[in-house]
Structure 1
Amino acid sequence: MIYGYIRVSTDKQTVENQRYEINNFCERQNILVDKWFEETISGTKKVDDRKLGKLIKKMKKGDILICSELSRLGRNLLMIMGVLNECMNRDIQVWTIKDNYRLGSDISSKVLAFAFGLSAEIERNLISQRTKEALARKRAEGVILGRPVGSKSAKTKLTGQEEKIQELLDKKVSYSAIGRILGVHRVTVSDFVKKQELETQGGWTKQ
Protein backbone atom coordinates (compact mmCIF):
# COMPACT_ATOMS: atom_id res chain seq x y z
CA MET A 1 0.00 0.00 0.00
CA ILE A 2 1.11 3.54 -0.76
CA TYR A 3 -0.01 6.24 1.67
CA GLY A 4 0.12 9.95 1.01
CA TYR A 5 0.59 12.01 4.18
CA ILE A 6 -0.20 15.72 4.35
CA ARG A 7 0.16 17.95 7.41
CA VAL A 8 -0.49 21.67 7.79
CA SER A 9 -0.03 23.63 10.99
CA THR A 10 -2.98 26.02 10.68
CA ASP A 11 -6.30 26.28 8.90
CA LYS A 12 -4.84 29.13 6.83
CA GLN A 13 -2.41 26.78 5.17
CA THR A 14 -3.71 24.65 2.33
CA VAL A 15 -3.23 20.96 1.81
CA GLU A 16 -3.57 21.38 -1.93
CA ASN A 17 0.06 22.36 -2.51
CA GLN A 18 1.32 19.22 -0.80
CA ARG A 19 -1.26 17.05 -2.55
CA TYR A 20 -0.23 18.55 -5.90
CA GLU A 21 3.45 17.83 -5.24
CA ILE A 22 2.75 14.24 -4.23
CA ASN A 23 0.44 13.59 -7.19
CA ASN A 24 2.97 15.03 -9.63
CA PHE A 25 5.69 12.87 -8.13
CA CYS A 26 3.54 9.75 -8.35
CA GLU A 27 2.74 10.45 -12.01
CA ARG A 28 6.45 10.67 -12.80
CA GLN A 29 7.07 7.42 -10.93
CA ASN A 30 4.01 5.78 -12.53
CA ILE A 31 2.50 4.89 -9.16
CA LEU A 32 -0.76 5.72 -7.38
CA VAL A 33 -1.54 6.71 -3.80
CA ASP A 34 -3.90 4.11 -2.33
CA LYS A 35 -4.96 6.19 0.64
CA TRP A 36 -4.53 9.78 1.83
CA PHE A 37 -4.07 10.99 5.38
CA GLU A 38 -4.47 14.70 6.05
CA GLU A 39 -4.36 16.62 9.33
CA THR A 40 -4.21 20.19 10.58
CA ILE A 41 -2.02 20.07 13.65
CA SER A 42 1.24 21.48 14.96
CA GLY A 43 4.35 19.45 14.24
CA THR A 44 5.30 19.84 17.90
CA LYS A 45 2.45 17.53 18.98
CA LYS A 46 3.47 14.03 19.97
CA VAL A 47 3.33 11.62 17.06
CA ASP A 48 1.00 9.29 18.98
CA ASP A 49 -1.47 12.18 19.35
CA ARG A 50 -1.56 12.73 15.61
CA LYS A 51 -3.07 10.82 12.70
CA LEU A 52 0.49 10.07 11.63
CA GLY A 53 1.01 7.89 14.71
CA LYS A 54 -2.17 5.91 14.03
CA LEU A 55 -1.18 5.57 10.37
CA ILE A 56 2.28 4.18 11.14
CA LYS A 57 0.78 1.62 13.54
CA LYS A 58 -1.55 0.28 10.85
CA MET A 59 1.03 0.20 8.06
CA LYS A 60 2.61 -3.15 7.14
CA LYS A 61 5.99 -4.35 5.95
CA GLY A 62 6.73 -3.05 2.45
CA ASP A 63 4.21 -0.19 2.62
CA ILE A 64 5.33 3.24 1.43
CA LEU A 65 4.67 6.56 3.12
CA ILE A 66 5.03 9.58 0.83
CA CYS A 67 5.13 13.17 2.03
CA SER A 68 6.30 16.43 0.52
CA GLU A 69 9.27 16.84 2.91
CA LEU A 70 10.68 15.51 6.18
CA SER A 71 9.45 18.56 8.10
CA ARG A 72 5.88 17.30 7.60
CA LEU A 73 6.72 14.41 9.95
CA GLY A 74 7.70 16.65 12.86
CA ARG A 75 8.88 20.07 13.93
CA ASN A 76 12.26 19.09 15.33
CA LEU A 77 15.02 16.68 14.36
CA LEU A 78 14.48 14.39 17.33
CA MET A 79 10.82 13.83 16.49
CA ILE A 80 11.53 13.23 12.79
CA MET A 81 14.22 10.70 13.62
CA GLY A 82 11.85 8.90 15.95
CA VAL A 83 9.32 8.53 13.14
CA LEU A 84 11.94 7.35 10.65
CA ASN A 85 13.41 4.89 13.12
CA GLU A 86 9.98 3.40 13.82
CA CYS A 87 9.27 3.07 10.10
CA MET A 88 12.61 1.46 9.29
CA ASN A 89 12.32 -0.97 12.20
CA ARG A 90 9.04 -2.14 10.69
CA ASP A 91 10.35 -2.18 7.10
CA ILE A 92 8.12 0.71 6.08
CA GLN A 93 9.57 2.94 3.37
CA VAL A 94 9.47 6.71 3.69
CA TRP A 95 9.74 8.77 0.52
CA THR A 96 10.01 12.55 0.52
CA ILE A 97 9.81 14.74 -2.54
CA LYS A 98 11.65 18.00 -1.77
CA ASP A 99 14.37 16.25 0.28
CA ASN A 100 14.51 13.37 -2.21
CA TYR A 101 14.85 10.68 0.48
CA ARG A 102 14.02 7.03 -0.19
CA LEU A 103 14.30 5.42 3.22
CA GLY A 104 13.72 1.69 3.45
CA SER A 105 15.48 -1.43 4.65
CA ASP A 106 18.47 -1.18 2.29
CA ILE A 107 21.99 -0.58 3.52
CA SER A 108 21.95 3.13 2.65
CA SER A 109 18.84 3.62 4.76
CA LYS A 110 20.38 1.71 7.65
CA VAL A 111 23.46 3.91 7.49
CA LEU A 112 21.24 6.97 7.44
CA ALA A 113 19.20 5.57 10.33
CA PHE A 114 22.42 5.11 12.30
CA ALA A 115 23.34 8.72 11.57
CA PHE A 116 19.88 9.84 12.68
CA GLY A 117 20.16 7.81 15.87
CA LEU A 118 23.61 9.18 16.63
CA SER A 119 22.38 12.72 16.02
CA ALA A 120 19.49 12.13 18.41
CA GLU A 121 21.84 10.89 21.11
CA ILE A 122 24.13 13.88 20.61
CA GLU A 123 21.15 16.25 20.78
CA ARG A 124 19.92 14.66 24.02
CA ASN A 125 23.41 14.92 25.53
CA LEU A 126 23.70 18.56 24.49
CA ILE A 127 20.34 19.38 26.05
CA SER A 128 21.37 17.61 29.25
CA GLN A 129 24.72 19.42 29.30
CA ARG A 130 23.11 22.82 28.69
CA THR A 131 20.67 22.16 31.55
CA LYS A 132 23.50 21.23 33.93
CA GLU A 133 25.48 24.31 32.91
CA ALA A 134 22.45 26.56 33.43
CA LEU A 135 21.86 25.11 36.91
CA ALA A 136 25.53 25.51 37.80
CA ARG A 137 25.43 29.13 36.64
CA LYS A 138 22.33 29.80 38.76
CA ARG A 139 24.03 28.31 41.81
CA ALA A 140 27.12 30.44 41.16
CA GLU A 141 24.89 33.51 41.03
CA GLY A 142 23.46 32.59 44.42
CA VAL A 143 20.05 31.53 43.18
CA ILE A 144 18.43 28.97 45.49
CA LEU A 145 17.14 26.07 43.43
CA GLY A 146 14.23 23.90 44.49
CA ARG A 147 12.22 24.25 47.68
CA PRO A 148 13.97 26.28 50.40
CA VAL A 149 15.47 24.19 53.20
CA GLY A 150 12.97 23.68 56.00
CA SER A 151 9.97 24.76 53.92
CA LYS A 152 6.93 22.56 53.56
CA SER A 153 4.55 21.99 50.73
CA ALA A 154 1.27 23.88 50.96
CA LYS A 155 -0.56 20.62 50.28
CA THR A 156 -1.04 17.97 52.95
CA LYS A 157 -2.86 14.65 53.24
CA LEU A 158 -5.89 16.57 54.49
CA THR A 159 -5.97 19.23 51.77
CA GLY A 160 -9.46 19.24 50.28
CA GLN A 161 -11.00 17.69 53.42
CA GLU A 162 -11.69 21.02 55.16
CA GLU A 163 -15.48 20.83 54.98
CA LYS A 164 -15.57 17.26 56.23
CA ILE A 165 -13.24 18.07 59.13
CA GLN A 166 -15.31 21.13 60.04
CA GLU A 167 -18.47 19.01 59.98
CA LEU A 168 -16.88 16.48 62.34
CA LEU A 169 -15.62 19.22 64.63
CA ASP A 170 -19.10 20.73 64.76
CA LYS A 171 -20.30 17.34 65.97
CA LYS A 172 -17.67 17.44 68.74
CA VAL A 173 -15.69 14.56 67.21
CA SER A 174 -12.19 14.38 68.72
CA TYR A 175 -8.97 14.81 66.77
CA SER A 176 -8.14 11.15 67.40
CA ALA A 177 -11.47 9.99 65.99
CA ILE A 178 -11.13 12.30 62.96
CA GLY A 179 -7.66 10.90 62.40
CA ARG A 180 -9.01 7.34 62.40
CA ILE A 181 -11.80 8.31 59.99
CA LEU A 182 -9.41 10.02 57.57
CA GLY A 183 -6.53 7.59 58.00
CA VAL A 184 -4.03 10.02 59.53
CA HIS A 185 -2.50 10.59 62.96
CA ARG A 186 -4.23 12.77 65.56
CA VAL A 187 -1.31 15.22 65.46
CA THR A 188 -1.75 15.62 61.70
CA VAL A 189 -5.37 16.63 62.28
CA SER A 190 -4.42 18.99 65.09
CA ASP A 191 -1.67 20.68 63.05
CA PHE A 192 -3.94 21.00 60.03
CA VAL A 193 -6.72 22.60 62.06
CA LYS A 194 -4.29 25.03 63.71
CA LYS A 195 -2.87 26.02 60.34
CA GLN A 196 -6.35 26.60 58.95
CA GLU A 197 -7.27 28.65 62.03
CA LEU A 198 -4.33 30.94 61.33
CA GLU A 199 -5.22 31.30 57.66
CA THR A 200 -8.92 31.93 58.29
CA GLN A 201 -8.36 33.92 61.48
CA GLY A 202 -10.18 31.58 63.78
CA GLY A 203 -12.84 30.40 61.37
CA TRP A 204 -12.50 26.79 62.57
CA THR A 205 -14.08 25.32 65.68
CA LYS A 206 -11.42 24.63 68.30
CA GLN A 207 -11.23 21.68 70.62
Structure 2
Amino acid sequence: MTYGYIRVSTDRQTIENQRFEINEFCRKYVHNVDKWIEETTSGTKMIQERKLGTLLKKMKKGDILICSELSRLGRNLLMIMGVLNECMNRDIQVWTIKDNYRLGSDINSKVLAFAFGLSAEIERNLISQRTKEALARKKAEGVILGRPVGSKSATTKLTGQEKKIKELLNKKVSYSAIGRILGVHRITVSSFVKELK
Protein backbone atom coordinates (compact mmCIF):
# COMPACT_ATOMS: atom_id res chain seq x y z
CA MET A 1 0.00 0.00 0.00
CA THR A 2 1.25 3.51 -0.81
CA TYR A 3 0.62 6.41 1.56
CA GLY A 4 1.00 10.09 0.65
CA TYR A 5 2.05 12.08 3.72
CA ILE A 6 1.54 15.84 3.86
CA ARG A 7 2.40 18.07 6.82
CA VAL A 8 2.18 21.82 7.19
CA SER A 9 3.12 23.76 10.33
CA THR A 10 0.35 26.36 10.35
CA ASP A 11 -3.15 26.91 9.04
CA ARG A 12 -1.77 29.66 6.80
CA GLN A 13 0.33 27.15 4.85
CA THR A 14 -1.36 25.14 2.14
CA ILE A 15 -1.27 21.39 1.64
CA GLU A 16 -2.01 21.78 -2.06
CA ASN A 17 1.63 22.31 -3.13
CA GLN A 18 2.77 19.09 -1.46
CA ARG A 19 -0.20 17.15 -2.83
CA PHE A 20 0.54 18.47 -6.34
CA GLU A 21 4.23 17.45 -6.10
CA ILE A 22 3.33 13.93 -4.94
CA ASN A 23 0.64 13.53 -7.63
CA GLU A 24 3.01 14.73 -10.37
CA PHE A 25 5.70 12.35 -9.14
CA CYS A 26 3.25 9.43 -9.14
CA ARG A 27 1.97 10.33 -12.61
CA LYS A 28 5.53 10.44 -13.94
CA TYR A 29 6.43 7.04 -12.46
CA VAL A 30 2.99 5.46 -13.06
CA HIS A 31 2.29 4.95 -9.39
CA ASN A 32 -0.85 5.53 -7.31
CA VAL A 33 -1.34 6.83 -3.78
CA ASP A 34 -3.80 4.53 -1.98
CA LYS A 35 -4.34 6.77 1.03
CA TRP A 36 -3.53 10.37 1.96
CA ILE A 37 -2.48 11.45 5.47
CA GLU A 38 -2.63 15.21 6.06
CA GLU A 39 -1.90 17.13 9.23
CA THR A 40 -1.33 20.66 10.42
CA THR A 41 1.18 20.45 13.24
CA SER A 42 4.70 21.51 14.16
CA GLY A 43 7.52 19.20 13.12
CA THR A 44 8.88 19.48 16.67
CA LYS A 45 5.85 17.64 18.09
CA MET A 46 6.67 14.06 19.09
CA ILE A 47 6.00 11.50 16.34
CA GLN A 48 3.71 9.48 18.64
CA GLU A 49 1.47 12.54 19.09
CA ARG A 50 1.06 13.05 15.35
CA LYS A 51 -0.95 11.30 12.64
CA LEU A 52 2.41 10.15 11.28
CA GLY A 53 2.94 8.07 14.43
CA THR A 54 -0.45 6.38 14.01
CA LEU A 55 0.33 5.73 10.34
CA LEU A 56 3.74 4.18 11.09
CA LYS A 57 2.13 1.77 13.58
CA LYS A 58 -0.24 0.36 10.97
CA MET A 59 2.12 0.28 7.98
CA LYS A 60 3.31 -3.17 6.91
CA LYS A 61 6.32 -4.69 5.18
CA GLY A 62 6.49 -3.53 1.55
CA ASP A 63 4.37 -0.40 2.11
CA ILE A 64 5.61 2.90 0.68
CA LEU A 65 5.49 6.31 2.37
CA ILE A 66 5.80 9.23 -0.08
CA CYS A 67 6.36 12.81 1.06
CA SER A 68 7.59 15.95 -0.65
CA GLU A 69 10.82 16.13 1.39
CA LEU A 70 12.46 14.61 4.48
CA SER A 71 11.79 17.75 6.54
CA ARG A 72 8.06 16.89 6.45
CA LEU A 73 8.83 13.91 8.71
CA GLY A 74 10.35 16.02 11.50
CA ARG A 75 11.98 19.29 12.41
CA ASN A 76 15.39 17.93 13.40
CA LEU A 77 17.73 15.27 12.15
CA LEU A 78 17.28 13.02 15.20
CA MET A 79 13.52 12.84 14.72
CA ILE A 80 13.83 12.15 10.98
CA MET A 81 16.43 9.47 11.67
CA GLY A 82 14.08 7.79 14.14
CA VAL A 83 11.35 7.56 11.48
CA LEU A 84 13.76 6.31 8.79
CA ASN A 85 15.30 3.75 11.13
CA GLU A 86 11.89 2.34 12.09
CA CYS A 87 10.83 2.16 8.44
CA MET A 88 14.03 0.41 7.34
CA ASN A 89 13.85 -2.10 10.19
CA ARG A 90 10.29 -2.98 9.17
CA ASP A 91 11.05 -3.03 5.42
CA ILE A 92 8.87 0.02 4.70
CA GLN A 93 10.11 2.27 1.89
CA VAL A 94 10.31 6.05 2.21
CA TRP A 95 10.33 8.05 -1.00
CA THR A 96 10.92 11.80 -1.07
CA ILE A 97 10.47 13.98 -4.11
CA LYS A 98 12.67 17.08 -3.58
CA ASP A 99 15.50 15.12 -1.93
CA ASN A 100 15.05 12.28 -4.43
CA TYR A 101 15.53 9.51 -1.85
CA ARG A 102 14.23 5.96 -2.27
CA LEU A 103 14.96 4.48 1.13
CA GLY A 104 14.28 0.81 1.74
CA SER A 105 16.23 -2.08 3.21
CA ASP A 106 18.90 -2.16 0.46
CA ILE A 107 22.58 -1.46 1.13
CA ASN A 108 22.44 2.09 -0.29
CA SER A 109 19.65 2.99 2.11
CA LYS A 110 21.57 1.53 5.04
CA VAL A 111 24.69 3.49 4.10
CA LEU A 112 22.61 6.67 3.84
CA ALA A 113 20.94 5.91 7.18
CA PHE A 114 24.38 5.38 8.75
CA ALA A 115 25.49 8.76 7.40
CA PHE A 116 22.36 10.40 8.82
CA GLY A 117 22.91 8.66 12.15
CA LEU A 118 26.54 9.77 12.31
CA SER A 119 25.48 13.34 11.50
CA ALA A 120 22.90 13.22 14.28
CA GLU A 121 25.44 11.97 16.80
CA ILE A 122 27.91 14.69 15.80
CA GLU A 123 25.13 17.28 16.12
CA ARG A 124 24.28 16.04 19.64
CA ASN A 125 27.94 16.13 20.69
CA LEU A 126 28.45 19.64 19.30
CA ILE A 127 25.40 20.97 21.16
CA SER A 128 26.61 19.33 24.38
CA GLN A 129 30.14 20.70 23.92
CA ARG A 130 28.88 24.24 23.20
CA THR A 131 26.70 24.14 26.32
CA LYS A 132 29.60 22.98 28.52
CA GLU A 133 31.90 25.65 27.08
CA ALA A 134 29.30 28.40 27.65
CA LEU A 135 28.75 27.28 31.27
CA ALA A 136 32.52 27.13 31.91
CA ARG A 137 32.95 30.65 30.46
CA LYS A 138 30.12 32.02 32.63
CA LYS A 139 31.64 30.37 35.70
CA ALA A 140 35.07 31.83 34.88
CA GLU A 141 33.44 35.29 34.58
CA GLY A 142 32.13 34.88 38.13
CA VAL A 143 28.50 34.31 37.19
CA ILE A 144 26.75 32.14 39.77
CA LEU A 145 25.01 29.33 37.95
CA GLY A 146 21.71 27.80 39.07
CA ARG A 147 19.39 28.91 41.81
CA PRO A 148 21.06 30.83 44.67
CA VAL A 149 21.85 28.68 47.71
CA GLY A 150 18.99 28.64 50.20
CA SER A 151 16.43 30.11 47.80
CA LYS A 152 13.24 28.27 46.99
CA SER A 153 11.33 27.91 43.77
CA ALA A 154 8.38 30.28 43.36
CA THR A 155 6.11 27.39 42.43
CA THR A 156 5.61 23.93 43.91
CA LYS A 157 3.51 20.89 43.05
CA LEU A 158 0.71 22.34 45.18
CA THR A 159 0.81 25.94 43.92
CA GLY A 160 -2.75 26.95 43.02
CA GLN A 161 -4.27 24.35 45.38
CA GLU A 162 -4.22 26.64 48.46
CA LYS A 163 -8.00 27.08 48.65
CA LYS A 164 -8.69 23.35 48.33
CA ILE A 165 -6.06 22.48 50.97
CA LYS A 166 -7.51 25.02 53.42
CA GLU A 167 -11.02 23.61 52.88
CA LEU A 168 -9.76 20.07 53.52
CA LEU A 169 -7.86 21.17 56.64
CA ASN A 170 -10.99 22.92 57.95
CA LYS A 171 -12.82 19.59 57.54
CA LYS A 172 -10.07 17.96 59.68
CA VAL A 173 -8.74 15.87 56.77
CA SER A 174 -5.24 14.50 57.55
CA TYR A 175 -2.10 15.42 55.62
CA SER A 176 -1.88 11.82 54.37
CA ALA A 177 -5.44 11.93 53.00
CA ILE A 178 -4.86 15.34 51.38
CA GLY A 179 -1.70 13.92 49.80
CA ARG A 180 -3.67 10.99 48.34
CA ILE A 181 -6.38 13.34 47.03
CA LEU A 182 -3.83 15.64 45.37
CA GLY A 183 -1.40 12.92 44.28
CA VAL A 184 1.55 14.01 46.43
CA HIS A 185 3.35 12.72 49.54
CA ARG A 186 2.06 13.80 52.97
CA ILE A 187 5.43 15.49 53.69
CA THR A 188 4.89 17.67 50.60
CA VAL A 189 1.50 18.68 52.02
CA SER A 190 3.01 19.32 55.47
CA SER A 191 5.80 21.51 54.05
CA PHE A 192 3.34 23.44 51.87
CA VAL A 193 1.01 24.09 54.83
CA LYS A 194 3.95 25.43 56.91
CA GLU A 195 4.74 27.86 54.09
CA LEU A 196 1.10 28.98 53.98
CA LYS A 197 1.10 29.98 57.66
Which segment is superposed worse, 43-52 or 105-114? Answer: 43-52
> Residue 19 of structure 1: SS of its match in structure 2?
helix
- The whole-number CA distance in structure 2 between the counterparts of 1:70 and 1:104 is 14
> Residue 88 of structure 1: SS of its match in structure 2?
helix
Cα displacement string for residues 77-135 of structure 1 (whole angstroms, at most 9, x for unaligned residues): 22212211111111110001111100000000000111111111111111111111121
One-letter amino acid of the counterpart of residue 86, structure 1: E
1:156–1:90 Cα change, 3 Å: closer
User: How far is 1:73 from its partner?
Assistant: 1.1
Q: Are the aligned partners of 1:6 and 1:18 in contact in 2 as well (CA < 8 Å)? A: yes
| RMSD (Å), alpha carbons | 2.8
Question: Structure 2: where are the runs of 5+ without partners?
Answer: 179-185
The corresponding residue for 2:2 is: 2
Question: Structure 1: where are the runs of 5+ without partners?
Answer: 172-177, 198-207
> Residue 53 of structure 2: SS of its match in structure 1?
helix
The corresponding residue for 1:11 is: 11
User: How far is 1:179 from its partner?
Assistant: 6.8
One-letter amino acid of the counterpart of residue 35, structure 2: K
The corresponding residue for 2:125 is: 125
User: How far is 1:63 from its partner?
Assistant: 0.6
- Number of aligned residue pairs: give it: 184
The corresponding residue for 2:36 is: 36
Q: Are the aligned partners of 1:158 and 1:192 in contact in 2 as well (CA < 8 Å)? A: no
> Residue 95 of structure 2: SS of its match in structure 1?
strand
The corresponding residue for 2:182 is: none
The corresponding residue for 2:24 is: 24
User: How far is 1:181 from its partner?
Assistant: 7.4
User: How far is 1:7 from its partner?
Assistant: 1.0
1:10–1:153 Cα change, 3 Å: closer
Write the mapping of 1:134-173 to structure 2, written as runs, cut at 5 A. 134-153=134-153, 160=162, 161-165=165-169, 167=170
1:181–1:104 Cα change, 3 Å: closer
1:14–1:152 Cα change, 3 Å: closer
% same residue: 76
The corresponding residue for 1:87 is: 87
Asked if residue 104 in structure 1 is aligned to residue 104 in structure 2, the reply is yes
One-letter amino acid of the counterpart of residue 14, structure 1: T
Q: TM-score, normalised by structure 1?
A: 0.77
> Residue 3 of structure 1: SS of its match in structure 2?
strand
Q: Are the aligned partners of 1:10 and 1:41 in contact in 2 as well (CA < 8 Å)? A: yes
Which segment is superposed worse, 139-148 or 115-124? Answer: 139-148
> Residue 143 of structure 1: SS of its match in structure 2?
coil
